[in-house]
Amino acid sequence: MSEEERGERRPAGAPERMIESAILLLAQHGFEAASFGAVLKASQAPRGSIYHHFPGGKQQLIAAAIDVAEARAVALARGMHGRTAVEIIDGFAGAWRAVLELSDFGAGCSAVAVTVSSDDPELVERAGAVFRSWRQALAEVLLASGLNAQQAADLSMMMLAACEGAVVLCRAERSLVPLEAVTGQLKLLAATMAG
């Protein structure tokens, strides 16, 4: 029986720790703050391991970080399968509320950080793919909730754009009020679509 089958987790290795550190640094401080030095310090990985595990340099590490963030976001969306559109919005906003509260308004979205602060076109395109994947996963669960395909696609776009913007405002104002206002309006929109 494997460790996973027994419910055990192996301690994270150096590459996993570096990726986790990069995700957090991106979410808290942006692309420039996710330097190799900062990642090594945060992950407590040996200096020599960075080019061993990420021979493509910072671009490879950041791409891996946003790939992991994407997988988590898609899993979160797919985990809401079977819920109503209003419940999906509550779950989505609730995840952002948790990020903001747990970080004391210090963290946002790592893909947004790459989009707005990286001048690497390949990484920005990768961030765009993350957002498309996330919207698609949200649209799929919204479609399963009873919305038609166009409604599901439109609402998934609205959810992502509105909540990402609300997170920025929440961080700036150190308040959940923007996210709560956006959540309320999205739920009204979803109820109208479902009706």
Torsion of CA 112, 113, 114, 116, to 10 degrees: 80
Neighbour tally for 142: CB within 10 Å: 29
- Locus of tokens 């460790």: 3
Q: Specify the pLDDT at position 6.
A: 46
Spell out the CATH class of 66-194.
mainly alpha
Are the beta carbons of 123 and 114 closer than 8 angstroms? yes
- pLDDT at residue 181 above 60? yes
> What's the mean pLDDT in 127-136?
96
- pLDDT at residue 7 above 60? no
Summarize pLDDT for 28-44 with one digit per residue, the tens.
998 888 888 899 899 88
Q: Specify the pLDDT at position 4.
A: 43
Overall pTM surpassing 0.75 (yes/no): yes
Q: Which residues contact 188 (CB under 8 A, 6 or more apart)?
A: none
Alpha-carbon distance of 156 to 176, in angstroms, equals 21
Q: Specify the pLDDT at position 195.
A: 75
